Amino acid sequence: MPKFSLSKLAGPVLIIMMLTMMILPLPALLLDFFFTFNIALSIIVLLVSLYTLKPLEFSAFPTVLLLTTLLRLSLNVASTRVVLLQGHTGPDAAGKVIEAFGHFLVGGNYAIGILVFIILIVINFAVITKGAGRIAEVSARFTLDAMPGKQMAIDADLNAGLIGEEEARKRRMTIAQEAEFFGSMDGASKFVRGDAVAGIIIMLLNVIGGLFVGMLQHDLGFADAAKTYTLLTIGDGLVAQIPALIISTAAGIVVTRVDTNEDISTQMVGQLFRRGQIMYITAGLLALFGVIPNMPHLAFLLFAGMIAAIGYNLDKRTKEAATQQETAALQPAPAAAAPEVSWADVQPVDMIGLEVGYRLIALVDRNQDGELLRRIRGIRKKIAQDIGFLVPAVHIRDNLELKPNTYRLALKGVDIAEGEAYTGMFLAINPGRVQGPLPGTPTKDPAFGLPAIWIEASRKEEAQSLGYTVVDTSTVIGTHLSNIIQSHAAELLGREEVQQLLEHVGKEYPKLVEDLVPKVIPIGILHRVLQGLLSEDVHIRDMRTILETLAEWVPKIQDIDELISHVRVTLGRAIVHQAYQGFGIKESDALPVLALDPNLENILLQATQTKGGEGAGFEPSLAENLLHQASQIVQQREQQGQPSVLMVPGPLRTILSRFLRRAIPQLRILAHAEIPDTRSIQVVGVIGGRNG
C-alpha cells in the first residue's frame, strides 16, 4: 500500500479552495486569510525563482503560474460578492486587507487608487508579462531547433565512451524537459495576460455595480456610493494585482536565466561589481554631475563616494588574491596522503580500444569535430546493420609513447594490430592493375596487406588516373578498425550483448522471446551458437529463425556444432546470398562451386567416422596437400574476380571450415543441405583431383 503524504493533498486542497470561493459566500475574516495566503504564495514563488540555478529546477512553474492566476480570479469573484452585498456597511465590509489597501496604500483617494491600479496593470500586462512570454516563445523555438544537434553531441560522447548509457539517458531527458518547459511557459504567460484584462473588467463591473446597488437598494447618494464602492474595488484590485505583479516578475526571472552554478543574486553581484576601474569611472561621472549648479549635490556626491569606496575595495581584494597565488606557487605543495586502495582502482578492460600518436589526435578530438569520430560512429552502425548486433563502443585515447603517426588497436585490453597514418596525406592502394609508379612513401594497406603508397594531397587525381584506389587518413584507420571488429565479432558478442539483443528482439517478437528464452533455450547455449555463427562470418540478423530452429533442436541435442549446423541449414538462403553477394550472380543463374574429389571425400569421411566426429584430424601429408591445392584454386578464382565457395557433405563442413578458415579466409565452405532446393549448382573446380 503506498505511503500517505500530506504534500500530495496540496493540489486537491487548492482546487477545492478555489471552487469554494467561487460558489459559496465567504465572511470578511476568511477573505483576509485567503488574501494573505495569496500574497505569501506569490512571495514564496518570487524567492524560489531568485534562488533557482537553472530553469528546469523550477519545472513546476508553468503549473504554479496557472494555479496562482486561477486563485486570484477566485478571490476576485469572492471579494466582488462581498463588496456588492456588504459594501454599504462601511470600508471594512470586505475585510481588513482590502480596507488597508484601499485606504493606507492610496491615502483613501479613489482617483489616485484608480491610477495606481491601472499603472500596475500596464506594467504587468505590457512590460513584464509580454516580455517574459516573448522570451519563453523564442526559447522554446530555439530549444526545439537545437534538439537534433544536442542529441548528436550526446550520441558522439556515448560512442566515444566518454559517458555511459545512464548519463546519456539523463541528458536526453533534460533536453526534452527543456523544450516542454519553455513551451509550457509560453502558454502559461497567456493566462497572466488574460488575468490583467480580467482585472480591468472586474474593476469596472464592481464600480458600476456598486453604484447601482448602493443607490437603488441601500438609498445611498451618488457621491457616497461612488466613494465607498470605488475604494473597496480599488483595494480589492490592488490586493490581487500586487501578487500578480510579483508572480509575473518571477516568471520573467525564470525564463531570462542563463544556466550557471550560481543563484541570481550571486551572479548579479559577481558580474556587476567585478572591476574596480568601472566603479572609479562611474564615481567620477556622478561627482561631475554633483558639482553642476541646481543639482542635488548631497545625493550625487554621496553615491560617488560610496561607489569609489567599492572600487577601492575590489582592487584591494584583487591584489591580495594575486599575492596569495604567487606565494602559493612558490611554496612546495604538501605531500598528499596516499588514498586507500579500493575497488575503484580496478579498471574494467576496454572491449575495443584505439590509441593514437600525438599527430593523429586532431582526427579524434571532439572539440575539432574529428573526422575519425564520425567515421567510427558510421562503422558501428554499418556493422550493426550487417551482422545483427551492436558492438561495444570504441574507447579512444592518445598515447605519447607511440610514434607520432602510429595508431594501435586493442581487443579486450590486448594489442592486436598497429599501423601508420599521416594527416593531410592520402593512401594510394595498388589493387593489382595500376598503369605506373607514384612518388611517395611505400607501405602496405594495414587492413588487407595490399601494396600502397602515402602520397601528397596534390597527387590524388594523378593516382586515381593511374588506377590506384585513393583513400584519406581517417578512412585508412576506419577501414582497419572495421576489419578488426568484423573478424573478431564472435569475441565481442558477450553475455551482456546477447541479453541486449534479446531485449531488442523482444520488442518486435515479445511472445517468441518470452516463451523460448530461457525456458527452452538456455542463454548459455544461445550465446555459444551465436558466437559459432559469427566466427564463420554468418550474420545473426534473422534472430526469429535462429530462435525457432534452436527451439526445435535444443530439446533433442546439446552439441553446439550440431545445433550450429541445423541453424545454418535454416539460414541457407541468407548464407548463399552472403557468399555470392557482389559477384553479379542472379537468382536464376547456377551457383559456381568448388567440390572435393570423390576419393578424397571418402577418405575424409572415413577419418571423421573412425574418430567419432570429435577431435578428428587428418594425416600431415593429406592435410598439407589439401591446403596447398585449395590455396591454388582460391588464388586463381580471386584473380579472375570469381567467388570461392567449397561445397562438401554435412559431416565434413565443420572440420574443414576450422582447418581451412584461418589459412584461406576468402574460402567459404557450405554443406550440401545449405544450398536452397530452388538453386542449381555448377562445379567449376575440384580439390584433390587431377586439376588440383
pLDDT band at 366 (very low <50, low <70, confident <90, very high): confident
Q: Which three cell numbers stand for residue 585?
A: 550472380
The verdict on residue 347 lying in a domain is no
How many residues does the structure list for the chain? Answer: 692
* 80 plus 199 within the same structural domain: yes
> Helices 165-212 and 130-159, interaxial angle, to 10°?
170
Per residue in 63-101, pLDDT tens? 777 787 788 778 877 777 777 777 666 666 666 777 776
Per residue in 478-535, pLDDT tens? 999 999 999 999 999 999 999 999 999 999 999 999 989 988 999 999 999 999 999 9
Q: What is the mean pLDDT of residues 642-663?
A: 90
376 versus 161: the higher-pLDDT residue is 376
Closest CA to 656 of 685, 682, 630, 675: 630
Q: What is the 3-state secondary structure (H, E, C) of 595-649?
A: EECHHHHHHHHHHHHHCCCCCCCCCHHHHHHHHHHHHHHHHHHHHCCCCCEEEEC
Rounded percentage of the chain residues whose pLDDT exceeds 70: 79
Closest CA to 519 of 567, 546, 555: 555
Q: Is the pLDDT of residue 681 over 50?
A: yes
Q: Which of 121-135, 474-488, 537-551, 614-628 bottoms out in mean pLDDT, i.e. has the lowest?
A: 121-135
Structural domain harbouring 554: 493-570
- Grid look-up 467561487 returns 22
pLDDT band at 648 (very low <50, low <70, confident <90, very high): very high
pLDDT at 499: 92
Q: Is the pLDDT of residue 108 over 70?
A: no
3-state helix, strand, coil in the chain (%, to 5): 65, 10, 25
* 521 plus 648 within the same structural domain: no
In contact, 681 and 647? CB cutoff 8 Å: yes
Q: Which three-class secondary structure state does DSSP give residue 471? A: strand
Q: Which three cell numbers stand for residue 196?
A: 490583467
pLDDT at 692: 41
Q: Which three-class secondary structure state does DSSP give residue 16? A: helix
Q: Which three cell numbers stand for residue 347?
A: 579498471
pLDDT at 493: 94
pLDDT at 670: 95
* 408 plus 520 within the same structural domain: no
Q: Is the pLDDT of residue 109 over 70?
A: no
The verdict on residue 593 lying in a domain is yes
Q: Is the pLDDT of residue 591 over 80?
A: yes
* 17 plus 101 within the same structural domain: yes
Return the half-sphere exposure (C-beta side, CA atoms, 13 A cut-off) of residue 626. Answer: 23
Per residue in 447-470, pLDDT tens? 888 899 999 999 999 999 899 999
The verdict on residue 329 lying in a domain is no
Q: Which three cell numbers stand for residue 605?
A: 569421411
* 484 plus 497 within the same structural domain: no
pLDDT band at 691 (very low <50, low <70, confident <90, very high): very low
Q: Which three-class secondary structure state does DSSP give residue 41? A: helix
Q: How many CB atoms lie within 10 A of CB 647?
A: 19
pLDDT at 241: 73
Q: What is the mean pLDDT of residues 165-187?
A: 74
Q: How far is CA 67 from the centre of its chain?
A: 33
The verdict on residue 76 lying in a domain is yes
Q: Is the pLDDT of residue 222 over 90?
A: no
pLDDT at 673: 93
The verdict on residue 5 lying in a domain is no
pLDDT at 163: 75
Closest CA to 682 of 613, 588, 615, 577: 588
* 365 plus 421 within the same structural domain: yes
123 versus 6: the higher-pLDDT residue is 123
The verdict on residue 611 lying in a domain is yes
Q: Which three cell numbers stand for residue 614?
A: 570429435
* 172 plus 153 within the same structural domain: yes
* 167 plus 252 within the same structural domain: yes
pLDDT band at 261 (very low <50, low <70, confident <90, very high): low
Distance CA 467, CA 434 (A): 5
Per the structure, the count of domains in the chain is: 5
Domain boundary (488, 506, 534) is at 488
503 versus 275: the higher-pLDDT residue is 503
In contact, 459 and 440? CB cutoff 8 Å: yes
Q: Is the pLDDT of residue 644 over 90?
A: yes
Q: Which three-class secondary structure state does DSSP give residue 573? A: helix
Q: Which three-class secondary structure state does DSSP give residue 683? A: strand
Give me Rg for the CA atoms of the chain.
41
pLDDT at 567: 95
* 414 plus 445 within the same structural domain: yes
Per residue in 528-587, pLDDT tens? 999 999 999 999 999 999 999 999 999 999 999 999 999 999 999 999 999 998 888 888
pLDDT at 20: 73
Per residue in 223-236, pLDDT tens? 777 666 777 777 77
| β-bridge pairing 591-596 and 352-356 | unpaired
444 versus 195: the higher-pLDDT residue is 444
pLDDT band at 684 (very low <50, low <70, confident <90, very high): very high
* 538 plus 687 within the same structural domain: no
Per residue in 286-335, pLDDT tens? 788 778 877 777 877 887 888 888 888 878 887 777 777 767 666 665 55
The verdict on residue 659 lying in a domain is yes
* 609 plus 639 within the same structural domain: yes
Range among 121-125, 133-137, 267-271, 536-540 rated most confident: 536-540
In contact, 93 and 60? CB cutoff 8 Å: no
pLDDT at 1: 44
pLDDT at 568: 95
Rounded to 5°, the CA angle 401-404-407 comes to 75
* 62 plus 158 within the same structural domain: yes
Q: Which three cell numbers stand for residue 204?
A: 469596472
Domain boundary (488, 513, 544) is at 488
Domain CATH code at residue 623:
3.40.50.12790
Domain CATH code at residue 563:
1.10.8.540
The verdict on residue 341 lying in a domain is no
In contact, 692 and 630? CB cutoff 8 Å: no
Quickly list DSSP for 505-571: HHHHSHHHHHHHTTTTS-HHHHHHHHHHHHHTT-----HHHHHHHHHHHTTT---HHHHHHHHHHHT
